[in-house]
């Protein structure tokens, strides 16, 4: 039997009735960040620059050795080479909240969406779990509502909005429904224009059907970061995020 791949429509709506405030899963333990730290795609530390900004970078694909050698040599020009060959990634607090969104998505069965909003003042508001998906005209539709902002906050006060895509998949008759974190729905595109940074939690690729008819997710779970300023996107595996946090924090806190 042949399976047709069908895209999922993800609808994000602003709804003031779904406000859920929660404390972050971020640990208050000391974070050992001083200079800018650089990592390869596997989350392995490859060097540090001399800038006391506490930023975190991940080298572009195939450029880890260039970044490592540039940082080893040091100097202003080499630091510029390292920066131009890397992506800046979010803070540990944001990475922890991505892990929490994944944890909540797993807990709800994997097909319902979760969402968190982090503000520039450090506060976090978590939305309610989205409803079960519905099927209409060969499309699986999933909804998640952005929570109402507390304290009269505006879009400009938002540092990042994190929401999950389904980490499970559904076969309905002869159709496979699956979506990855690299796929933006039309609703995503509208919502993403509102905020300077958006992150999707999910698989870094779509599910496939193997020869015996079973659905297989052979792509790892991770995050895809979307920056409004450049519309660039960066995908990072959760296994790499764990290693990055492990390196930067004195004691690794297991949140999954």
Q: Do both 57 and 163 map to the same domain? A: no
pLDDT in tens, 24-73: 344 434 444 468 999 999 999 999 998 888 899 999 989 999 999 999 99
Q: Do both 63 and 117 map to the same domain? A: no
Phi, psi (5° rounding) for residue 190? -70, -45
Looking at residue 1, its pLDDT comes to 42
pLDDT in tens, 68-124: 999 999 999 999 999 999 999 999 999 999 999 999 999 999 989 999 999 999 999
Cα distance between residue 201 and residue 182, in whole Å: 9
For residue 45, give the nearest of 31, 34, 57 by alpha carbon: 57
- Residue that terminates a domain, selected from 45, 60, 89: 89
Task: State which residues form the domain around 54.
Answer: 37-89
Q: Is the pLDDT of residue 21 over 90?
A: no
Looking at residue 31, its pLDDT comes to 45
Q: Do both 76 and 127 map to the same domain? A: no
> For the packed helices 92-107 and 238-248, what is the interaxial angle rounded to 10 degrees?
140
Using CA atoms, how far residue 122 sits from 84, 118, 159, 230, in Å, is 28, 7, 9, 24
Q: Is residue 256 part of a domain?
A: no
- Tokens describing residue 60: 């572009």
Phi, psi (5° rounding) for residue 71? -70, -35
């Amino acid at each position: 039997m042949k399976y047709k791949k069908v895209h999922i429509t993800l609808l994000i709506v602003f709804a003031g009735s779904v406000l859920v405030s929660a404390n972050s899963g971020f640990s208050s333990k000391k974070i050992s960040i001083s200079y800018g730290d650089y990592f390869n795609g596997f989350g392995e530390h490859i060097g540090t620059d001399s800038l006391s900004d506490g930023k975190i970078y991940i080298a572009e694909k195939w450029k880890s050795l260039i970044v490592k050698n540039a940082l080893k040599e040091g100097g202003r020009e080499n630091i510029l080479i390292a920066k131009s060959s890397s992506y800046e990634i979010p803070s540990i607090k944001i990475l922890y909240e991505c892990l929490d969104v994944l944890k909540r998505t797993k807990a709800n069965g994997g097909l319902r969406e979760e969402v968190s909003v982090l503000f520039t003042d450090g506060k976090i508001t978590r939305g309610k779990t989205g409803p079960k998906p519905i099927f209409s005209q060969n499309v699986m539709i999933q909804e998640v509502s952005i929570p109402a902002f507390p304290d009269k906050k505006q879009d400009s006060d938002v540092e990042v909005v994190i929401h999950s895509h389904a980490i499970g998949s559904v076969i309905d008759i002869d159709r496979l429904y699956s979506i990855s974190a690299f796929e933006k729905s039309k609703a995503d595109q509208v919502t993403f224009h509102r905020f300077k940074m958006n992150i999707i939690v999910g698989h870094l690729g779509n599910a496939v059907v193997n020869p015996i008819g079973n659905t297989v997710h052979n792509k790892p779970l991770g995050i895809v970061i979307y920056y409004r300023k450049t519309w660039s996107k960066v995908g990072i595996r959760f296994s790499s995020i764990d290693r990055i946090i492990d390196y930067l924090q004195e004691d690794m806190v297991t949140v999954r």
